[in-house]
Amino acid sequence: MKELKLFPKHEGIWEGTYRRIDANGKLVDEWKSRLTCVLLPDNKYHQVNEYTWDDGFKECLDFGVCPFNEDGELIFENPRLSGKAWETGRSVVLIWEYKHRPGMILFEQIDLIGNDDHRIRVWKWSEGDVFNGITMIEERKVCGKEGIDPQFWVDLPKNRTNGQASRSDN
């Protein structure tokens, strides 16, 4: 498999803010995030996104264990979405589709800045030939993989909100 240079830098826990902006530039939603990302043996990756809104609503989205193919592309396929991610230059690029919204495609770019402990991300939303806006994300690394509490993985099954409608998908 192709050597991964950027994905290992994303391992650990990241906390930040998501801001959803419509095609006219209006802020339509904002929420806090905590992402847990790990590389696993046998060229696999696991990511869990925990979201919290100011009104107290919470989500915990587990993307499952996803494989890398021989070209170093991360392939994710779960009941909620389908897509892939790959390294290019200094960025990780993703393209995915929500299964419950046929025709909706998201294009994401993730860039590490500073000492690789600060990242900036943007999702570009499209549906057919319509641009639906962006989600801007800014995150700071809280800790590396070694700082993830093993109890997090034990508690994960009871914390998952997968299978429910996700507020972050709108």
Q: What is the pLDDT of residue 165?
A: 63
Quick one: tokens of 14?
Answer: 């990241």
What phi, psi does 88 have (nearest 5°)?
-150, 115
The secondary structure of 77-104 as a DSSP string is: E-SSEEEEEEEETTEEEEEEEETTSTTE
> Rg of the chain's alpha carbons, rounded to an integer?
16
d(C-alpha 102, C-alpha 160), whole Å? 24
Q: What is the pLDDT of residue 163?
A: 63
d(C-alpha 108, C-alpha 119), whole Å? 13
Could you read off the pLDDT tens digit of each residue along the chain, which spans 170 residues? 789 999 999 999 999 999 999 999 999 999 999 999 999 999 999 999 999 999 999 999 999 999 999 999 999 998 888 999 999 999 999 999 988 888 999 999 999 999 999 999 999 999 999 999 999 999 999 999 999 999 999 999 999 887 666 777 76
Nearest residue to 130 (alpha-carbon basis) of 30, 25, 28, 22: 22
